[in-house]
Structure 1
Amino acid sequence: MVLKSAIELDIIEIIFTATSEGGCACISVISPAKIAARIPSKNPDASVLLDRMLRLLASYDILKCSTCIKENGEVERAYSEGPTCKFLVKLKVHGFKELVDVGDGIGVAINIISSKHPHIQGTNYDLPHVIADAPNDERCFITLITHTRASEPLTYYKAFYVLGVEHVGGSDERCLKLLKNCWEALPRDGKVIIVESILPVAPENIASSHIVFEQDLLMLARNPGG
């Protein structure tokens, strides 16, 4: 709940930006009072309330906390970005205005991306029966894959987004063919963006482990050779 509130209030974004401006996040910190001044709050105790939230996040290594003794003897805490903050702040998308999502189903991912970054024109690239009921979005095109086109090079685009297609794409050769087609369709400064899970070395009883191991068993059940 505290982390959710910190993200919704842009507190993580404020800390990440402030402690990175100097080019050396390891020594740059920001106090709760300065954070409170940057959020739309009229509560006179906002800095105290923020400090209580931030010290909890620091105890989980989401933030880093440093302390100093003020002239009156009080301890003052200041905060900087932790190792996981980069996953909690807004991503800056640059370098392309068109994005093709290969195998996105009804287009959930590409619609989310284009809604967050309106300058991007999205294309959902999938089989006809998969996208038959896909919702219409003025920012996204729908492109059908026929059985003959599936093995042909893709249209010339600047960026391709591939999310977990390897899990349901069949053999390794078929997956490599898909990625190669994406690569061959790119201009010199284009990008193939692959979003994929990484299996942990040792299993843990946490949600992220459950998800990736279930995906691994899905591959074992559906794909030749697992």
Structure 2
Amino acid sequence: MSSKEAPVITTSHEDEEILNAFEVPSMAFVPMVLKGVHELGILELLAKGDQLSPLDIVARLSIDNPAAPDTIDRMLRLLASYSILSCTLVEDKEGRPQRLYGLGPRSKFFLDQNGASTLPTHMLLQEKTLLECWNCLKDAVKEGGADPFTRRHGMNVFDYMGQDPRFNDLYNKSMRTGSAIYMPKIAQHYRGFSKAKTVVNVGGGIGETLKTILSKNPHIRAINYDLPHVIATAPPIPGITHVGGDILKSVPKADVHFLKSVLHRGDDEFCVKDNPQREGPDAEGIRGPCTRLGVPCPKIRSARVQPVVD
């Protein structure tokens, strides 16, 4: 810069916009780093309560790679910036600065708390089987027809799960642990099952949702209904009968049919015919529908509901 050129001065608002613009393309790093930290066993190690340095972590996990401490330090610093972990700067015995890591305010949601955790859902969404589908999103939008998942794998996600036991297990764990987080709150306040005799959980996975409903309504006859390959992995649950079938063809008779995260699979005619009284706000906000862009998702629907609560 010559002495006659004026220096470029940006405002704090402009600086923030620039930083935010650079952050957007790097957003994918955070979930992938969290996935790696979980697979290495670091989250479980930190959950024992001690704040640890990267060297401590490498030693306790018996990792031989000499470059591992530096790489782990960079990974954990990223997660600390999102409050998933805590980071404390101290001095080692030689007076050199080092960082100690522990659990952060958000880490509790990624740890198993009596079966409730968002981690299985996180691991599912970072699964290669799903990530590959995003490369087909543009063509699915321009050309129509098959959704991104079907374009990538040659079949819809539900048929695919029937042929891939590992992916099927990941999906079922995600559904189970998600239900374990919010279903107890719903069951505590909702009174719509109090006079029911038979309740069918349509698309109920391996039974976690119905198990919670049954705990508050032990008088009901409970039927968990889902695809045969899902039911095949469902554990025995006292008071619940597991039945395999296809909700697009038929569902068992009951005076109450409970559906959760199911209607996105069908078209309008299916949803109205099988569920004429079901109206509810879209509780997923914007991120839930976006995760389904890569899988069969004709429409995200919303309407008003009159809740039955105390």
TM-score normalised to structure 1 length: 0.50
Q: Quick one: structure 1 residues 71 and 9, their matched pair in 2 at CA, closer, same or farther if it must change by over 3 Å?
A: closer
Aligned to 1:49: 71
- The code of the aligned residue for 1:9 comes to L
Task: Show the 5 A alignment for 1:70-81.
Answer: 70-81=92-103
Q: CA deviation at 1:91?
A: 3.4
Instruction: State the partner residue of 1:125.
Output: 224
More helix by share: 2
Aligned to 2:302: 219
The corresponding residue for 1:139 is 235
Contact 2:289/2:300, CA 8 A, preserved across alignment: no
Instruction: Give matches, 1:9-158, under 5 Å.
Output: 9-19=40-50, 29-93=51-115, 103-105=201-203, 108-110=205-207, 125-126=224-225, 131=227, 136-137=232-233, 139-140=235-236, 142-143=242-243, 146-147=252-253, 149-151=254-256
How far residue 76 of structure 1 moved from its aligned partner, in angstroms, is 0.9
CA RMSD of aligned residues (A): 4.5
Bigger strand fraction: 1
Partner deviation per Cα, 1:140-169 (whole Å, 9 max, x = no partner): 55248743x3349xxxxxxxx984479975
Amino acid at match of 2:102: S
Which residue pairs with 1:185 in the alignment?
Answer: none
Contact residue 171 and residue 224 of structure 1 kept, 8 A: no
Aligned partner letter, 1:89: L
- Give, in whole Å, the separation in 1 of the partners of 2:103 and 2:282: 24
d(CA) in 2 for partners of 1:51 and 1:216? Answer: 42
- Matching residue's letter, 2:302: M
Partner SS for 1:218: coil
After superposition, the Cα gap between the structure-2 partners of 1:17 and 1:109, relative to the gap in structure 1 and judged at 3 Å, is farther
Task: Count residues with an aligned counterpart.
Answer: 158
Secondary structure, counterpart of 2:43 in structure 1: helix
Shift in Å at residue 62 of structure 1?
Answer: 1.6
Question: How much does 1:210 deviate?
Answer: 4.4
1:61 aligned partner, one-letter code = S
Q: Which amino acid aligns with 1:91?
A: Q
The amino acid across from 1:11 in the alignment is I
Q: Which runs of 5+ in 2 are unaligned?
A: 1-31, 117-179, 181-198, 209-221, 245-250, 265-270
Distance 1:224 1:57, change over 3 A: closer
Larger Rg: 2
**CA distance in 1: counterparts of 2:259 and 2:115, whole angstroms:** 16
TM-score when normalising by structure 2: 0.39
Identity of aligned residues (%): 27
**Residue 17 of structure 1, CA deviation:** 2.6
C-alpha distance 52-164 of structure 1, shift in aligned 2 (>3 A): same
Distance 1:71 1:134, change over 3 A: closer
CA distance in 2, matches of 1:131, 1:62: 36
Which consecutive unaligned segments of at least 5 residues does structure 1 have? 20-28, 112-122, 153-160, 176-195, 201-205
Q: CA separation of 1:124/1:14 partners in 2, compared to 1, >3 Å: closer, same or farther?
A: farther
Structure 2 equivalent of residue 117 of structure 1: none
Q: Trace 1:172-187 onto structure 2 (pairs within 5 A).
A: none
Q: After TM superposition, what 4+ stretches of structure 1 lie above 6 angstroms from structure 2?
A: 165-168
CA–CA distance in structure 1, aligned partners of residues 71 and 229 of structure 2: 47
